[in-house]
Structure 1
Amino acid sequence: MTNWPKSYPFALIIALMALTPIGVLFSLASDSAAFFDARNLTVLVNTLALMLWTVIGSVLIGVPLAFFTAYVNIPFRRLFLILFAAPLALPSYLGAFTLYFAFGRGGEIESITGITTPSLEGLWGAALVMSLYTYPFVMLTTRATLLSLDASLVNAARTLGQTLFMSLWRIVLPRVINSIAAGALLSALYALSDFGTPAIMGFDTFTRVIFVEYNAFGLSQAAMLSLQLMLIVVLVLFVESRIRGDKERPGRHLTLWLPPWLSGTWLLSFMPIVLLSIFLPLGIFTLWLVREGAGDFDVTYAWNSAYASMLAAIAAVVLAVPVAHGAIAGKAGRVMERISYLGFGVPGIVMGTALVYLGLQIPVLYQTLALLVFAYVLRFLPLAVGTIRSTAENQDAGLVKAARVLGASPREAFMRITLPLTMRGMVAGAALVFLEAMRELPATLMLGPTGFETLATYLWRVYEAGYFGRAAVPGLLLVLLSGFGLVLMLSGERRAEFSVSEDSRR
């Protein structure tokens, strides 16, 4: 008889929980009149157009920045890396909110400088914002591969008379194509799942139309649209799963010692990106705070965000432990882990639609904090699973075996050895879930209890009411929390030293 790991039953239950929203959507969508109609075609074209332009923008910004931060030796390189990666930590709806009110006739830029700027709205406004907040996906995935490449081929090409640019173009770029594609697909997934940016920019994508249908009590149509969006997401996830980076033996790293004027010129050319994505939103929020004060902001909103996110973080870590250890134990556990990852690919607006219907069928759950926390857990469980699994895989298995030889039961060995050694991953996973739940907008709008206002939902109510000056405090708090998440994300990155100069050929 096969002795199944004790983590498997728990992992199976959690995997079935992750499948719940999909099953609910199919049940709800069965009442819809049609799977696809002419209006859906417009929404589909809009969604794909936003995804396409977001990918193009993120690649055009992210790839040059990856080369610059990986290879060019500049003072304070670590600081500039943090600045260039910072947009990844911010929810894009914060940038959309401030850029929308900063640009255009009557915008904050015109009121301060007297200069009329083009308005940001529609497809181009949404694509610009999405590109500004997703290019770090491309930058970081490409940069990681660049740092692992052996520079000997570049050195050889330079010795044979190739210019530096041609050496990078013909030798380095083909070796990082897969990493660029992986980052681009992450940008595509973000563009597909984001609700706040297209909604603020007034551009009808699946996420915005689903929310409109929900508000119009068209749950069945919202579910049908959600399934169509999920189909696109699954296709993108499938393509992403087929991309594998080429592994090379580590070798000598590359550093480009550019003339100060040239590296300074490149650095200045990248500054507008940081200005638009980071400093302009911070400046606009600060301006509103100075001009209008805190308004009617209630500190309870921050407490509500923290409380719900903390509950979600604790629950996610508790559920992630058996999933992570089940994945390590065998192939069946890995399948259950992959199923649990499904929630992270489900856009928040889709998760909200499914769980609203589930709450209607189980009245005791409808508009309760428990249902909102359940949505957070399903959405962000993979963050906790990933950190716990990576920590657990690096443990020395001999410690548990030694404990068993000395008479410890499996439970005692787990509690006294495995669990304490996994604690670092559990804390990191909890922090990531907490931060993502704090920023989640569409699921919170749809599932939050009546009167339960969070930082994200208060920001949205302010936008709907047109009292944008009152967004200063929640906006700055979300930026502060997102900055903490960025520090956590980059804290483990290794630093590298390189050795090829622009003026020398070896």
Structure 2
Amino acid sequence: MPTLTPRRARRFLPRPALACAAVLAVGVALIPLVYLGIRVGQAGWGRIADELFTARTGDLAGRSVALAGVVTAACTVLGVAAAFLVTRTDLPARRVFGVLAALPLAVPSYVAAFAWVSLAQGFEGFWAAALVLTLVSYPYVYLPVAAALVGVDPAQEEVARSLGRGPWQTAVGVTLRQVRPAVAAGALLVALYVLSDFGAVSILRVDVFTRAVFTAINLGFDRTGALVLATVLVALSALVLLAEQLSRRRAARYARLGGGAPRPPTRLRLGRLRWPAVLGLAGVLGAALGVPAVSLVRWFGEGVSRPGSLGELADAAGNSLGVALLGTVLTVVLALPVGLLSARVPGLLAVALDRLAYLSHALPGLVIGLSLVFFGINVAYPLYQSVWLLALAYAALFLPLAVAAVSAAAAQAPPGLEEVARSLGRRRAYVLRTVTLPLAAPGIGAGAALVFLTCMKELPATLLLRPTGMNTLATGLWTHTSVAAYAAAAPYAALLVLIAAMPTWWLSARTGVLTRTGG
């Protein structure tokens, strides 16, 4: 089938309508950022300066950056090592480890923090938070690196071996160099996640920007100060986002030319390192999955036996599924025009909208929630205290995840089929509904699963925007943990992890690790 050029694609996709829909979708996602800028500007430079140029703000910035740096470095080492062991060595039970290594992604940071605190008295502070965040965040590096290692061209490794390089020299000098873009992108996502984390640092009592902002708004004594601090957090996140965009540009330097050979690479023999590698990986998984499992089992029975606990749990689970599903649907609907524009009508507008969508992704959930609280009270009061405002927060936070999935899936769908359908007299909307979207459905489904997973785990935006009296699994866990009611919190944590594990398993399967690592 012939490939559509951008000019020919305009005959089959209504560019003006698609562009307008994409602009509207990104505009909706940017509402929190625009409103935050307006409110901070109203405070005046004097008030902003008084809040920014203080020793406390410097301490918060230094601690936030230090925590992000430590966790990012640790996650890079763990993620790359786990991916390499699973995909490129003769590690025993590679398939089992391939599945388990991705599952910590299903454990929200506040669940992991709750598990460690409930088992070890005095477990708090900077290094405790660094450990917990590392254990739940390293899959952000592991998954893309594992996928890159599965798809990397083995021909370059064979050339290096033929020139006299040993297996480990080839692995370090050739194989890992080819996956550097995946390593960089995953590491930067970890840094963004750590800067935006609220649950773990709050439970473990680490003063960083997210905790300071939430305390200010929750107590209500300094809302302007909270907004100013939020802008600093946005600036730090924007720097990470800029680094992420730069890493994408560098990725082209390591791209393969041609389809490559569809044959498996030669696996490295670990030799005497085989069982130490097994023990090391098992130790990481034990800390990431075993500690939460032991803690939840320990407290679960007592929590479920409380009077009325099953009814409360069922109500919270239903609310979590409902708002996560609503947020996922809204996010995917907004992502469709942006992703289709990027895939089918590439150009300056598509690139600009894609970058603007990522601005909302750089905003922590706390900042999104805080901005939408003021927006709902002062601008869109009918939406205030409704699930629609919460769904809007989810869409603003996770729109880029869905846009990337839609764009990639639409780009892989053969455009020649759309051309044939249009040549038979079918309308554009009919072609989109019956040809383009069905072909792109698997990729869009994967993006929807990732959005659903992140909506289920999101805590600060849910705390700030949920309707009065509405409880979810995340907020129920937070409510009980904040007063050290670990038995009451355990059922919420266990059910949240179980639900989140299903899309996590599916996402790990789509990397190819489960089907290509062998037994």
TM-score by structure 2 length?
A: 0.87
2:188 to 178, 185, 196: 185
Q: Distance in 1 between matches of 2:504 and 2:516?
A: 23
Displacement of 1:336 in angstroms is: 1.9
Report the Cα distance in structure 2 between the residues aligned to 1:200 and 1:226, rounded to whole angstroms.
20
Displacement of 1:76 in angstroms is 3.0
Equivalence for 2:82: 65
Q: What CA deviation, in whole Å up to 9, does each residue of 1:464-502 have, x standing for no partner?
A: 122111112111111111210212212222358799xxx
| CA distance in structure 2 between the partners assigned to 1:401 and 1:66 by the alignment | 41
Preserved CA contact (<8 Å) 1:255 1:498: no
Counterparts of 1:180 and 1:419 in 2: how far apart (Å)?
Answer: 31
Alpha-carbon shift at residue 426 of structure 1 (Å):
3.9
Contact kept, 8 Å, 1:18 with 1:342, in 2: the verdict is no
Report the equivalent of 1:219.
223
Match of 1:504 in 2: none
Quick one: which of 291, 297, 300 aligns to 1:286? 297
Summarize the Cα distance change of 1:63–1:387 in structure 2 as closer, same or farther, 3 Å threshold.
closer
Cα distance change of structure 1 residues 291 and 348 upon mapping to structure 2, 3 Å threshold: same
Among 131, 136, 152, the alignment partner of 1:133 is 136
Note the C-alpha offset of 1:42. Answer: 0.9
Offset of residue 159 of structure 1: 6.5
| Separation of aligned partners in 1, 2:106 and 2:362 | 18
Change (3 A) 1:11 1:498: closer
**Identity %, equivalent residues:** 33
* One-letter amino acid matched to 2:102: A
Deviation at 1:393, TM superposition (A): 1.6
For 1:140 and 1:432, the matched residues in 2 are separated by: 13
Which of 324, 327, 336 aligns to 1:312? It is 327
Q: Verify: 1:16 aligned to 2:27, yes or no.
A: yes
Q: Which segment is superposed worse, 15-24 or 244-253?
A: 244-253
Match of 2:3 in 1: none
Q: Is the 8 A contact 1:312 1:374 kept in 2?
A: yes
- Secondary structure at 2:383 match in 1: coil
Q: Secondary structure at the match of 1:453?
A: coil
Which amino acid in structure 1 is aligned with residue 296 of structure 2?
A: F
Matched residue SS, 2:510: coil
Q: Which has the higher contact order (CA 8 A, sep 6+)?
A: 2
In structure 2, which of residues 187, 193, 198 is the aligned counterpart of residue 195 of structure 1? Answer: 198
What's the CA shift for 1:257? 3.1
Residue 447 and residue 327 in structure 1: after superposition, are their counterparts in 2 closer, same or farther (change >3 A)? same
Q: CA deviation at 1:377?
A: 1.5
In 2, the alpha carbon distance for the partners of 1:171 and 1:333 equals 34
Aligned residue for 1:143? Answer: 146
Dislocated runs of 4+, deviation >6 Å: 496-499
| Residue among 53, 58, 61 paired with 1:41 | 58
Give the match for residue 276 of structure 2.
265
Q: Secondary structure at the match of 2:267?
A: coil
The offset of 1:176, in angstroms, is 4.0
Structure 1, unpaired ranges of 5+ = 105-118, 500-506
Q: Deviations over 1:76-100 (max 9, x none)?
A: 3122111112112321111111112
The counterpart of 1:255, out of the listed 253, 267, 278, is 267
Deviation at 1:322, TM superposition (A): 1.7
**Distance in 2 (alpha carbons) for counterparts of 1:416 and 1:56:** 46
Asked if structure 2 preserves the Cα contact closer than 8 Å seen for 1:55 and 1:187, the reply is: yes
Distance 1:397 1:165, change over 3 A: closer
Structure 2 vs 1, CA of residues 100 and 379 (structure 1 numbering), >3 Å: closer, same or farther? same
CA separation in 1, counterparts of 2:408 and 2:183? 24
Residues 390, 471 of structure 1: CA spacing in aligned structure 2 closer, same or farther, 3 A cutoff? same
Mapped partners of 1:24, 1:294: distance in 2: 45
User: 1:292/1:15 Cα in 2 relative to 1: closer, same or farther (>3 Å)?
Assistant: closer
Distance 1:330 1:156, change over 3 A: closer
1:238 aligns to 2:256 (yes or no): no
In structure 2, distance between residues paired with 1:478 and 1:406: 49
Give the Å deviation of 1:315.
Answer: 1.8
The root-mean-square deviation of aligned C-alpha atoms, in Å, is: 2.4
Which consecutive residues of structure 2, in runs of 5 or more, have no partner in the other structure? 1-9
Do the aligned partners of 2:201 and 2:207 also contact (CA within 8 Å) in 1?
yes
Q: Distance in 2 between matches of 1:428 and 1:155?
A: 34
Identify the residue that residue 352 of structure 1 maps to in structure 2.
369
- Cα distance change of structure 1 residues 120 and 28 upon mapping to structure 2, 3 Å threshold: same
8 Å CA contact 1:132–1:277 kept in 2: the answer is: yes
Residues 210 and 222, structure 1, Cα contact 8 Å, conserved in 2:
yes
Cα distance, 1:406–1:281 mapped onto 2, change above 3 Å: same
CA displacement 1:288-315 (0-9 Å, x = unmatched): 1124434343111111111111211222
Equivalent residue number for residue 376 of structure 1:
394
CA contact (8 A) 1:26 1:223 kept: no
